[in-house]
Chains A and B, each alone.
Chain A
Amino acid sequence: MKARWILIAYAAICLLALMLMLSRENLYVVIALAAGFLLLGHRELWSLIRHGRMPVIDERVQNNLTGAMRLTGIFFFIASIVLILLFRFNVFKNTPKELIVSGQLVIVGFVYVMGYYYYDRVRPCLGEKAVKWLRICLITAGLCLSTIALAIVLHNLVSVWFGFEDAFFFILALLVAPAVLSLSLLGCLAIYIKGLVASFKTVEQS
């Protein structure tokens, strides 16, 4: 019952925001809000369409929702800080701000959905070894992102301080770190998909 009212309130807020943004012709934000609503409320909407009722929220679902919310909150916080810094240094000079913020909202929605399915389906079907590898891949990806930022700063500092074009930090920031980042993200995705496929098989076979 509580979940139903939360969904209705959320839908009403989204509708109001959509109308407001449409009236201001901010189409990017309208699309982002609509996509965000579909992503966040996909379980409820699917259950309403398929069974004509709201899905049951038991203790396992509550734990999974809490985990996904926490993950989304952390991601949103970090992404916001990165975006603020990028805006501060005028990186997005020629890109509309609405597009960037809308993109962030949609990505946050995807992170929530992926986080929810991780706790709900993927995690129970992954072995300890796979979880360990997933953690290693995620930490590596995080380290690579920090390395890219640090190497860009160091490359510029070396150029300013010593007056010559540095090659080491340049290659690190543009080649090595992005390559390792791509590999670790692919690893994460592969483990995630493996767990998701295993979970769907488990549920179907039972």
Chain B
Amino acid sequence: MTNIRKRVVITGMGVLSSIGRNVPEFKQGLLDKKVGIEPSETYSEYFAGAYASEIKGEVDYPGLDPDLITKLDKGALWGYRVGREALEDGGLLDSDLKKKMGLMVGVSAAGTEAYLPFIMNKPEETNLDMVKYSGSYASICPLVSSLLKIGGGYELVATACTASPNAIGLAFDAIQNNKGDVMMALGSEPLYVPTFAGFYALKAMADGPCTPYSNQPGMSIGEGAGAVIVEEYEHAKARGAKIYGELLGYATSSDAYHETAPDPKADGSSWVMRTAIANAGLKPEDVDYVNAHGTGTDANDRSEALAIKKVFGEGTTPPISSTKSYFGHNIGSAGIMELIACLVTLPEKKILPTLNFGEARTYADIDCVPNDFREKDVNVFLKNNYAFGGNNSCLVVSTKPGSIKQTEFKPQRVVITGMGSVSSLGTSNSEFALGLNEGGAVPMPREMKVELNDEEAKLLPLDENKMLHYRCHMVKPFNARKVLRSIDAKKLNNISLYALVALEQALKSADYKVAKTAREEIGMIMGISKGPTSTITRLCESLSPDPNNVRTSEFAMSLMNSIATQCAIAKGIKGYNTTLSSGVNAGFGAVFQGYEVIRQNLQNYMLAGAADEDSLGFSPLMLLGNEDFNYENTDNSYQAYAKENKGYVMGEGAGCVFLESHDSAVERGVHIHAEIMGYGRSCDQFYFNENTTAQPMADAINMALKEANLSVQDIDMVCGTTWAGEYATSMELNGIKLALGDHSASVPLTNYNGYFGFVEASGGLLNLTAVIHGMKDNLVYPILNTTEFSVAGLNYVTGSVVEAEIKYALVTGMSEGGNCYALIVKKGA
């Protein structure tokens, strides 16, 4: 059986840029060839000759309480603003369709503003409300979904400069899998000192507005936001929506080459174009125009020019231009804003020029559409974006929806054939299994000096020396070289090391070696929460007092996508590559998307992982107001789902699963640990008042059941993964109760966090791994330590291991922002 891919169209747009604060202004700015890159007052304070494309002056936020505006960072506010404009433009602002609408966000330097006073050594300017609401990397997602009442669940793509086009790709895939008819994709990137300092210190900046492909190399940094409504075509037509263009397909990839520099052979950047074109069922000669990444730096432009020549042939390249010459490089939101720029000009038969074009650089012997609009009827165009870490992305778009034949795919059954984990239980599958059997690890005593003022310090149980004593499920020291052998582990931070060790195990247990001749047949998705906090801390410390002294070596490694980059480089994995930094349980998002890539037959093999390093010392501010943290400092104090909230004990580690099609696993003759039957995602939209409701979790579970084509009674066990605290516990447990109805009273329910701690991004994956280990022997391990439970009427597994025939397991989880995940797996052969 083959499926015809749904047509996916763009039916609403919103933008905020230095050349226009809404789509009509933006369009006019483009047509007027307005250059928004100007000398920067903000950054001239620190950096000589600073230029930037900035959003200057006040920005209005229609529909928002002025008091609330002071509590949120610009990333969320701009996301709200462009999201609202896109909804309004799409006729959806007051529509019920928002309830099931998914939200895919792309960012790079998120969560910075709340901590900027600390980073810049001006603690007196700290805004604690902002720390509370906008203090986590992923906070833009729950904020935008809550403010705009978008309820279909979210993911946050954090692949630096390719983040927003990647987010559009995720929305495209969600529609292909019937997870919604209407999705929003969004990119929001306000500029802050750390990002400016990083690029400035790398000497990547132009000394005026950038001149992509001509004159002196250099980039211009920018800030802005963009949003698009991505919708199934028939749905859009039926409701009479305005249609801007059709998204024909996309691809992402990794260079697997270097942390910052693009592969000079342009293998990854050419492969991503070829693959995106093929995914859209087209050939290079069908492409009429390429909107380049075109940052203006020598490294990018040289490599991209080579990639374009490789794809289209020397002398036969279509016109290409770089919109960054108008409004600079907007990092996480660059791709989506550039897409919007194309969609407002190409339908008028005008190709955007590369502005500021002087003498073409020698390698740029391609048609760069210099300085003036080109009259041409463009149907199919590419939107290229490339990022630090070798992330490549390419969108294939048509300006004439319905004009290109739809592609087909044979839906694949997706199975897990490899697993790996790093946790306090150990660094191998056997140690993990043994740890489960032996009742988990004992959290290690830790202490930390807390630098807060007296008033703030009172809020924490500090001793007389301002020391905080707590427990943590640490990964025990291990000889990385022995485990990773031929990989240089010395340059890795802990989070990358854990991710790589888990990934290595998953590859081994799947009996798969990344073959040199097939590096592109395997891809990777990494789920991240706080990310490389040790590296981020070192980077931030180097910014004060003089941000010119920023440690450039830490800059690239502080990015959320650096973990996937290190893994890709170490193992030579060049296929589909993205990082989802959606916060707690981001590993679920990684599994969902990995599943989707295999299901649609876009890659042969996928690795879905997540990783965390101990981050408690990252910022003491994070501890304030966190009522869910456990300060008891005893062996058994972590009690998941307890009636009396004692809080969670944090853990560190990583999880990873190897995914492939059922056919492939059978052909390779490898053991199938489990089959993924379906998934669901939903969110609560209650970020501000924490009014818990069971509905979002129930929605996610029902969505997963629907895809799996199973009934409630088919579920043989449930594993929740929620950390602690009334809000999360209540949402998860009541959601399970609501979705499973009477069956919830009898189906065994467990939660394995007590075994290895609450490991933010990886917890879901570690629980899934534990479920699969248990399923093999029909075992459900008990919830540790909890004696009295907060929600009655559920069949909690306590005390001893339960033996039960398990065919289907439901694994659930939440993010700290109320995103609910449900995954159904079937026991393997």
Q: Are both chains from one complex?
A: no
| Chain B residues in the interface with A (C-beta under 8 A) | none
| Chain A residues in the interface with B (C-beta under 8 A) | none
